[in-house]
């Protein structure tokens, strides 16, 4: 999966989760940047990422995911053969 495709699917996940069709995300987007992105929401987003991309995020990887960019890099890594 290439980067634009990952962003497209991630954007869909964020727009669905926050109920905002106008929401945009970028490499630097963090929890503080989106209203309502609390710890409960964060778990839902991670679960959605796992389901939509078919990846499994390990306990050790969760703390390292502080921004959308971190998520994208993790997804790319897990998709690489």
Partner 1 sequence: MGITGHLHWLPKLADADEALRALARIEDPRERLDRITALARHQLDFIQTGKLDRALEKTRAELLAALGLPQIKLAWLSSSTVDHQVPSTRVAGLRRGLSIQSYVAPFNQYRQALLDPDSPLARFAPQAVLFAIDPNELAPSVPLSASATDVEAAIEGRVSEVRSLWARARAQYSSLVIHQLAPDISPSPFGSYDRIVPGAPASVVAETNRRIARAAAEDRVLLLDLVSASARLGHDVWFDPVRWHHAKQLIAPQVTPLYGDLVARILAAARGLSKKCLILDLDNTLWGGVVGDDGLEGLVLGQGSAAGEAHLAFQRYALALKARGIVLAVCSKNNHDTAEGVFLRHPEMAIRRDDIAAFIANWDDKATNVRLIAAALNLGLDSMVFFDDNPAERAIIRRELPMVEVPEAPEDPSLYARCLAEAGYFEATAFTAEDRARAEQYRDNARREEGRRAAIAAHGDLDGYLASLEMEMIASGFDEVHVPRVAQLIGKTNQFNLTTRRYSEEDIRALARDPSAICLQVRLKDTFGDNGIISVVIARRHEGDEGGAHAAEGAYRIDTWLMSCRVLGRGVEAAVLNVLAQAARERGARALLGEYLPTPKNDLVREHYAKLGFEKIEGDHAGPGSSRWALALLRYEARPVHIQVRGAEEP
Using CA atoms, how far apart are residues 34 and 19, in angstroms rounded to an integer?
Answer: 12
Beta-bridged to residue 67, according to DSSP, are 30
Dihedral Cα 17, 32, 61, 57, nearest 10 deg: 0
Tell me whether residue 19 or residue 35 sits nearer to partner 1 (CB atom).
Answer: 19
Report the residue from 6, 10, 13, 34 that binds partner 1 according to the rule CB under 8 A.
13
Using CA atoms, how far apart are residues 21 and 4, in angstroms rounded to an integer?
Answer: 18
Binding mask 19-58 for partner 1 (x = CB under 8 A): x-x-----------------xx--xx--xx--xx---xxx
Q: List residues near partner 1 by CB under 8 A.
A: 13, 16-17, 19, 21, 39-40, 43-44, 47-48, 51-52, 56-59, 62
């Amino acid at each position: 999966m290439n980067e634009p495709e990952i962003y497209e699917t991630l954007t869909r996940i964020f727009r669905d989760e926050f109920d905002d069709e106008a929401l945009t995300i970028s490499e630097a987007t963090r929890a503080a940047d989106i209203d309502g992105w609390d710890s409960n929401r964060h778990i839902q987003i991670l679960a959605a990422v796992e389901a939509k991309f078919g990846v499994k995020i390990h306990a050790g990887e969760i703390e390292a995911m502080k921004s959308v960019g971190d998520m994208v890099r993790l997804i790319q890594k897990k998709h690489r053969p």
